[in-house]
């Protein structure tokens, strides 16, 4: 996998995802549901070759946490 992220940016995004996953588990979302969700999104990203920008709008409408913006991912 190639990326323009440096280690610090990668770590920030990873921590945001971990916090979100931890929050979902705390809210009693079954881990298998989370795994299925992540697999589905990973499949879609691989199929498209990118993250559809329309997902960002859905995150905001659903009031879900957003990953920190950096110059390379904004």
* Cα distance between residue 5 and residue 22, in whole Å: 24
Distance CA 74, CA 68 (A): 9
Q: What is the pTM of this model?
A: 0.63
Sole residue written with tokens 């588990």: 25
pLDDT at 47: 92
**Could you tell me the two tokens for 39?**
């697999």
Q: What is the model's pLDDT at position 55?
A: 82
Question: Could you list the mean pLDDT of each consecutive 10-residue stretch along the chain, which spans 74 residues?
Answer: 74 93 95 95 92 79 57 44
């Amino acid at each position: 996998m190639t990326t323009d992220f440096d280690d610090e940016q990668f770590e920030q995004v990873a921590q945001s995802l971990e916090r979100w996953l931890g929050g979902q588990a705390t809210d009693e979302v079954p881990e298998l549901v989370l795994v299925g969700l992540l697999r589905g999104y990973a499949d879609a990203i691989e199929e498209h070759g990118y993250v559809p920008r329309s997902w960002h709008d859905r995150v905001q409408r659903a009031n879900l946490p957003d990953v920190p913006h950096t110059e390379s991912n904004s």
